[in-house]
Structure 1
Amino acid sequence: MATSKQVGGDHYAIMNIQPIEFILANQLGFCEGNVIKYLCRYKRKNGLEDLKKARQYLDFLIERESR
């Protein structure tokens, strides 16, 4: 299974449910998936930088829904 091998750290592998499993199971789009991914990993990987990335993708979604 692809989720049993993680390239570049263990910040997802230690989770009970990996973000990719949640994203695929719920058929989330690119922006929604990235929000989930960055929120799930920020404490163990890039901290504030990941929160800013999550916010950017959330802003993309807000802008799209505001049209």
Structure 2
Amino acid sequence: MRLLYVCEEEEKELSRRDAPGACPRCGGKVAAVDYSHKWRLCFVPVCNIVKRRYKCTLCSKRLEFLYS
């Protein structure tokens, strides 16, 4: 007997907004982008996660915040 499964991950951009601050690398504007991740197993939705990422609009570098 063989077990065959199909796993699929889909990423979709939901919205994009201006965020305060500037990129430390090039000094460009920062954008807050909301993404939706959907994971499917055999065409059945398993998980739906919404995340926010911060990116520079000029150099497209992904920015991370470090909390102290």
Scaled by the length of structure 2, the TM-score of the pair is: 0.23
Q: Which has the larger radius of gyration?
A: 2
Higher helix share: 1
Scaled by the length of structure 1, the TM-score of the pair is: 0.23
